[in-house]
Amino acid sequence: MTTQRPIRIGLIGANIHQGWSPRAHLPALAAHPEFDLSAVCTTRRESADEAMAAFNAGSAWDDYNRMLAEADIEAATISLRVPLHYEPTMASLGAGKHTFTEWPLGRTTAEAVEMAEAARLKGVRTAVGLQARANPAIVHLRNLVANGYVGRVMTCHVRLMREGVLSRVSGRTWQRENDLGAHTLTIACGHTIDALCSVVGEFADVATVVSTQANTWHETDTGLDLPVTSPDNVLVSGNLQGGGVASVQIGSTAWAGSGYRMEIYGEEGTLVADSVDSPQLQQVSILGARGGSNDLQELTPAAELHTAPEIPGGAAYNVGQLYSQFSASIRGTDNGEPRVPDFDHAVGLHRLIDAIRQSSDEGRRVVVA
């Protein structure tokens, strides 16, 4: 941790009663010694005042343009619904602030490209909320593979099966619309496949199935049954750029999910990662075997891979890990690895997801841009 003055940051989307911020960003920033939560913003002054009091923020705002112009901040986080990312992100970049925007970066790849280009023109540092790759266990896996623990990667598989929610209140049924960009393909698959790629490298091509198995959701407060266009099951197979093959299965099932598992098989060893949920949200246990042994042994990440303060709740801790990387990027101390996933990285992941969708739509293998 640095002894420099904390980075003054403002959070757009700070409602403490709903959304991702009270689970992750607010506790992570309030606890992180690298940051000073100098401003919080919601659409109503009352809820902004609540967030300021609950997390000891410096000021409260109900207009993000005013916050960006008048608050004493160097950086801003945008933690809103995906369709609302574009305008406050562009405003933050336009104000010359280092900017952290949740994943997916944009509703579409075109939006993500525009945001990345704006950041490059302004010369500010960016981060996108892909915290699974900042999870200490995922970083440890990447280091093990890079240092030859399994030798040449031959094949790998990752699976995330979650309990699906077929009935929900009206405030959460907006995610049923595919075009709004917040669903199993972009979020659960996006986080999971990004973590896999951080360990074994990027896909060269993909052959996929993207499917909607639950065609309606029941809206509990209105009694309506609403049509669903968002996918809830994703199957991906492909060749990796560095050699080897990989497969991915992501599903939101009607009842009890079976959790997360990543398996990596090489010429000289095997690595397995397990968790009750995605490494985006939870810590992960790692097992490994090499040197001719079939006996999987527990492998523990080194203490130095834990760069965030202890925060109650798994989701907030991994976001805190990502804020450590964001701080190093802003301060220019990120010469080592891993580096924070920035807007350019987000564009690459958006393009991978486009290739997954295209392959399924066209029924053919697609080269990843």
The pLDDT tens digits for 36-72 are 999 999 999 999 999 999 999 999 999 999 999 999 9
CATH class for the domain made up of 132-307+342-367: alpha beta
Q: What residue spans define the domains of the chain? A: 7-124, 132-307+342-367
How far apart (Å, rounded) are the C-alpha atoms in residues 106 and 347?
A: 9
CATH class for the domain made up of 7-124: alpha beta
Residue 255 scores a pLDDT above 90: no
Alpha helices in the chain (DSSP H): 25-31, 45-55, 64-70, 86-94, 109-122, 136-146, 189-200, 314-331, 343-362
Tokens representing 260 are: 């997360």
> At residue 156, what is the residue type?
C
pLDDT on residue 2: 52
How far apart (Å, rounded) are the C-alpha atoms in residues 70 and 80?
A: 21
Residue 308 scores a pLDDT above 60: yes
DSSP 8-state class, residue 178 = G
Mean pLDDT of the chain: 95
The pLDDT tens digits for 322-332 are 999 999 999 99
Rounded to an integer, the average pLDDT of 118-137 is: 97
Tokens representing 258 are: 């079976």
Q: Is the dihedral of CA 226, 227, 233, 236 positive or negative?
A: negative
Query: Which of the residue ranges 62-66, 156-160, 312-316 would you say has the lowest mean pLDDT?
Result: 312-316
The pLDDT tens digits for 15-38 are 999 889 999 999 999 999 999 999
Report how far apart, in Å, the C-alpha atoms of 125 and of each of 15, 309, 341, 358, 363 are.
25, 23, 10, 31, 39
pLDDT on residue 292: 83
Report how far apart, in Å, the C-alpha atoms of 229 and of each of 125, 218, 232, 360 are.
35, 14, 9, 15
Q: Over pLDDT 70: what percentage of the chain? A: 98
How far apart (Å, rounded) are the C-alpha atoms in residues 207 and 245?
A: 12
Residue 256 scores a pLDDT above 90: no
